[in-house]
């Protein structure tokens, strides 16, 4: 591994999933001004994230099909003739 290319200012931070409120501790160099009290009673800087493994459909098994303007139906009707 190359010397001198990795940051030295790692600190313990909370990563908070904003879609379901789940939080976990990790070490990071991410900059943030927000702080929050974790379940252990200590206050840590908090990095807000939109999605994590506790809310992502791939990991939760609750995948949903997002069909905007009937695109799937248009595709199926357009290529139904080729199928025959």
Strands 23-28 and 11-17 turn out to be antiparallel
pTM: 0.64
Integer Cα distance of 51 and 55 in angstroms: 6
84 residues of the chain, pLDDT tens digit each? 788 898 888 999 999 998 888 899 999 999 999 999 999 999 999 999 888 877 776 666 676 656 566 777 777 788 877 766
Query: Residue 48 in contact with residue 31, Cβ under 8 Å?
Result: no
In terms of Cβ atoms closer than 10 Å to its own Cβ (0-12, 13-18, 19+), residue 45 is middle
């Amino acid at each position: 591994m190359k010397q001198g290319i990795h940051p030295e200012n790692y600190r313990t931070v909370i990563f908070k999933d904003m879609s379901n409120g789940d939080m976990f501790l990790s070490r990071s160099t991410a900059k943030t001004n927000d702080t929050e009290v974790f379940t252990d009673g200590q206050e840590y800087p908090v990095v807000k994230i939109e999605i994590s493994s506790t809310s992502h459909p791939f990991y939760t098994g609750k995948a949903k099909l997002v069909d905007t303007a009937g695109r799937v139906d248009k595709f199926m009707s357009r290529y139904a003739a080729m199928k025959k």
